[in-house]
Amino acid sequence: MWYYLPIVFIPAFLVIVASKFFFPHHVTWKEWAVQLGAGVILTVILTAATMIGGSMGSADFTIFSGQVTGKESVRVSCSHQYKCGETCRTESYTDSKGKRHSRRVCDPVYCDEHDYDVSWRVYTTLGTWTIDRVDRRGLKMPPRWDDTYINEPVAESRFASNYLLLNDDRFGTSSSVRAKFAGHLFAYPVPYDYWKIQRVLQDNGRDYDSISIWLNEQLKKDGPAKQLNVILVVTKNLDPELYFAQIEAWRGVRKNDVVLFYGVDEDENVKWAKAMSFADGQDNLVMLKELQSMTYERTFGVELVQEQYKKIVAEFHRVPNSTFEYMKDAWVPPTWWIITMSIVNLLAAIGIAWFMVKEDLFR
């Protein structure tokens, strides 16, 4: 990345040199040195900002699965206070005319309204959730906490790096495919209502909640054991090119994903199918092909999903993101960004040079 530094610096450096060449009696060597130092510092800052931007470009998330291990109500310190008094003191000060004065200064004292509040906590293999209170102190049991049960499946979205995102062209499709399915694509499923997740996306109006519940039950243990997340996409769109538009919209799949696509008719007969995992299926290509072939002349339903899931758990291999760490070092900022940085640095150099010509900084 640092080899872009000269590209950004040279235009500004030429302005710095020109200021001394054309205005030798207005710009001293000290002032020239200040210009040079400012130019170097700004160039380094702009280049560092580009590097940070590149690393942020790999920011992603991953869905983790687990289960509830316990829950309890806990007495905690009161979070509500009222002013119950004040402490005062006398301070002396001198005004602008040199006269001494004194004044009384008071600081408020706050007391807790109650001896305690109550927090409603749920413990899981992924961490602890605190359920929102339904009353001010938390004395009433929240229905959401009451509905929670031991061994209930949970899901959580966590930050992760994904170096594949540094190459947007990797997920691109044609403009015609993009236009064909505009407004007909699915949002990537993420947890809601604390830790719930819908693992079956559909646009055919059918109810697949039972399949999603079954997947959640399996993944509460298989997810952590296999570092696995499974998503099903069931669509009434019989054009298999929807798959390419969806992958572009999602910018690929997450590193622990196996995503199964089914194009079904009105009777839920599978007319086309696709399967995908992280990095275009790297290390899982045979499994993905077999998952697709398992749908041949089949009807979508729990029996098919269970068969495919069994194969996934037996054969899935999660490819570590570190495999693609080389892409971080090979990342190249877009040309427009390099030009923008050069212009910003140039304008700053012109402004500083003009200031040095007009002002006698060291005289």
Q: Span 153-177, mean pLDDT? A: 89
Residue 20: what residue type? K
Q: Which backbone phi and psi does 217 adopt, to 5 degrees?
A: -65, -40
Q: Which residue has the tokens 């969806």?
A: 246
Q: How many CA atoms lie within 13 A of 28 on its CB side?
A: 7
Q: What number of other Cβ atoms are within 10 A of residue 153's Cβ?
A: 22
Rounded distance, CA 15 to CA 35, Å? 10
| 286-310 CB burial, b ≥16 within 10 A, e <16 | ebbeebbebbeebebeeebbeebbe
The answer on pLDDT for 98 being more than 90 is no
Q: Is the pLDDT of residue 26 over 90?
A: no
- What is the mean predicted confidence (pLDDT) over 167-185? 90
pLDDT in tens, 204-256: 999 999 999 999 999 999 999 999 999 999 999 999 999 999 999 999 999 99
What are the tens digits of pLDDT across the range 287-342?
A: 999 999 999 999 999 999 999 999 999 999 999 888 887 777 667 777 777 888 88
What is the enclosing helix (H) or strand (E) of 118?
strand 117-124
For residue 162, pLDDT over 60 is answered with yes
Residues of the chain within CATH 3.10.310 domain(s) are 153-323
Q: How big, in percent rounded to 5, are the helix, strand and coil portions of the chain?
A: 45, 25, 30
The predicted structure's pLDDT at residue 13? 80
**Hey, is 158 helix, strand or coil?**
strand
Higher pLDDT, 97 or 68: 68
pLDDT for 244 equals 96
Grade residue 73 by pLDDT with cuts at 50, 70 and 90.
very high
Cα gap 189→195, rounded to integer Å:
12
Asked if residue 260 lies in contact with residue 289, where contact means CB atoms within 8 angstroms, the answer is no
Average pLDDT over residues 75-93: 91
- Of residues 98 and 124, more confidence is placed in 124
Asked if the model's pLDDT at residue 6 lies above 80, the reply is no
CA separation, residue 11 to residues 38, 291, 346 (Å): 14, 57, 6
Q: Quote the pLDDT of residue 259.
A: 98
Higher pLDDT, 134 or 361: 134
The 3-state DSSP class for residue 257 equals: strand
- Distances from the Cα of 188 to the Cαs of 5, 198, 200, 231, in angstroms? 38, 10, 11, 9
Can you tell me the distance from the alpha carbon of 297 to that of 299, in angstroms, rounded to the nearest whole number? 7
> Taking a C-beta distance cutoff of 8 angstroms, is the pair 336, 53 a contact?
no
pLDDT band at 352 (very low <50, low <70, confident <90, very high): confident
Are the beta carbons of 207 and 199 closer than 8 angstroms?
A: no
For residue 3, what pLDDT is reported? 63
Burial class (CB in 10 A: 0-12, 13-18, 19+), 123: middle
Q: What is the mean pLDDT of the segment spanning 85-93? A: 91
Compare 338 and 55 and report the one with higher pLDDT.
338
When pLDDT is averaged across residues 35-54 and rounded to a whole number, the result is: 79
User: Which CATH code fits 153-323?
Assistant: 3.10.310
Q: How far is CA 136 from CA 132, 188, 193, 362, in A?
A: 10, 35, 21, 64
DSSP designation for 98? S
Average pLDDT over the chain, rounded to an integer = 90
1 pLDDT more than 60: no
Whole-number pLDDT of residue 2: 58
Q: Which residues contact 345 (CB under 8 A, 6 or more apart)?
A: 8, 9, 11, 12, 39, 42, 43, 46
Predicted local distance difference test score (pLDDT) of residue 258: 98
Q: How confident is the model at residue 167 (pLDDT cuts 50, 70, 90)?
A: confident
214: nearest Cα among 331, 324, 302, 323 = 302
- Going by C-alpha positions, the residue among 298, 231, 241, 242 that lies closest to residue 267 is 298
Query: Is residue 28 over pLDDT 80?
Result: no
- Sign of the C-alpha dihedral computed for residues 312, 314, 315 and 320 taken in this order: positive
Which pLDDT band, with edges at 50, 70 and 90, does 10 fall under?
Answer: confident
| pTM, two decimal places | 0.78
CA-nearest of 208, 271, 198 to 237 is: 271
* pLDDT > 70? residue 362: no
